[in-house]
Amino acid sequence: MADLQSIQAKSNYGLGIAARVLGESVTQYRANNPMAPLDGSGFTRVFDAAFDADPLLTMTKPAIVGRCLFYLIADATNLEVGDYIVGPQGQFFVASLEPLRPPVVIRANSVLFLSRPGEALQAGLGPPGGDSVASETTLFAGWPGSVLIAGRSGQGDVDLPGDVGMAGWQILLPYLFGIDIRGSDILTDQSGLRHLVVGAELSPMGWRIDAIQEAA
């Protein structure tokens, strides 16, 4: 009598064969270093994979703007949630591995660095308070993630005549190394744009973060 594991194994096998026909060669990275998750120091593997925007894996729906969710056609035997997959179609991280369902991956369009403002002061007279780059501690670096625009979120504090409002962003990242992302943390992308975390929700698929662009 077939059980879930054997059916899943057959499913993986079949999707692996489909990937060899439909997909391209990709590299899987299991992060070993929060400061460089793609440095190859952890588990890596090269395999064939295709990415479909349709959970039915019909390969008929193209990717569209503002959508980062994809479904993986590949043998998922050695995949874990949080693994990065890098190939010709870009960088993805594995968000969900549910039995008998195609793996859900998130396409990353940015590389993010997490820093946390804070004060070393414990008591007595300290340096001027408030947030400053000098007081920030970097918690992780170089994590590919999805950064999609999510409306506007008010004016900057400086209120200059040319201000057009601060953009709001929805950011998706894997949950790795037990690192918590909190409100007021700063997520900086590779271009130096700073996103101030307003709220961060940890779901089984990783971090879903509401952020605003931090600017004058």
Partner 1 sequence: MADIADVLNALAASVAAALYPTGAFDARGNPLASLAGPIVKIMRGTPFAKQLDEDLLAGIVNVTVNERAELGRTTTRFSLDWSTASIQTSTLTAASVQNVITFAGSVTAGQGIMLIVDGQPYAYQCQAGDTLSSVTAAFVELILLDRVVTSQANVLTIPSARKITIRQVVPGISIRPVRQQTVGLMVKIYAPSFSLRDAVGACVDSALATISRVTLEDGSIAMLRYSGTSYDDRPQKALTFTRTLLYQAEYSTTQTRDDTTIGVVEAVISPHAIGGGPGPVFIATDIGSAIEPLPSDLNVLVQNGEVLVDAYGDPEVEL
Nearer to partner 1, 100 or 120 (CB): 120
* Complex with partner 1: residue 129 or 192, whichever CB lies closer: 129
Which 113-132 positions form the footprint of partner 1 (CB under 8 A)? Answer: 117-119, 121-131
Which positions from 160 to 189 touch partner 1 by CB under 8 A, shown as an x/- string?
----------------------xxx-----
| Cβ pair 107, 120 in contact under 8 A | no
Show the 3-state SS of 108-122. ECEEEEEEECCCCCC
Residue 153 makes contact with partner 1 by CB under 8 A: no
Closer residue to partner 1 in complex, CB, 75/185: 185
Q: Is 67 in the site for partner 1 (CB under 8 A)?
A: no
Mind giving me the DSSP string for 58-99?
Answer: -S-PPP-TT--EEEEES--TT--TT-EEEETTEEEEEEE--T
Nearest residue to 146 (alpha-carbon basis) of 68, 199, 81: 68
Task: In angstroms, give the least distance from the CB of 135 to partner 1.
Answer: 8
Q: Measured from the CB of residue 129, what is the shortest distance to partner 1 in angstroms?
A: 4
- Contacts of 3 by beta carbon, 8 Å cutoff, 6+ apart: none
Residue closer to partner 1, measured from CB, 117 or 165:
117
Q: How many residues bind partner 1 (CB under 8 A)?
A: 18
User: How far is Cα of residue 55 from the mean position of the Cα atoms in its chain?
Assistant: 20
Binding site for partner 1 (CB under 8 A): 117-119, 121-131, 135, 182-184
